[in-house]
């Protein structure tokens, strides 16, 4: 049984999106997500803290688009 305090998390393997016509307009969609109690992102994208994945330029680009780029040590 799942703890009611912990929300359900889904991955790509848990969901199947079938292309179909929709009445929802792109400007009406809200992709924002809350990462912590004080951090909300405009888009649900966080990068890995790996030198081959996220450098300073990538982190800056992600931040400008509303995501979060995590820079490696």
* pLDDT tens-place values along the chain, 73 residues long: 667 777 788 888 898 889 999 999 999 999 999 999 999 999 999 999 998 999 999 999 999 999 999 999 8
CA angle (58 as vertex; 36, 28 as ends), nearest 5: 55
Q: Quote the tokens at residue 1.
A: 């049984």
- Classify residue 69 by burial, with Cβ atoms within 10 Å: 0-12, 13-18, 19+: buried
| Predicted local distance difference test score (pLDDT) of residue 68 | 95
pTM of the model: 0.63
């Amino acid at each position: 049984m799942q703890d009611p305090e912990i929300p359900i998390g889904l991955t790509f393997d848990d969901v199947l999106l079938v292309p179909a016509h929709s009445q929802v307009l792109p400007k009406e969609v809200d992709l924002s997500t809350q990462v912590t109690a004080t951090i909300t992102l405009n888009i649900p994208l966080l990068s890995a803290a790996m030198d081959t994945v996220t450098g300073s330029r990538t982190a800056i680009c992600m931040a400008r688009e509303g995501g979060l780029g995590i820079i490696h040590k």
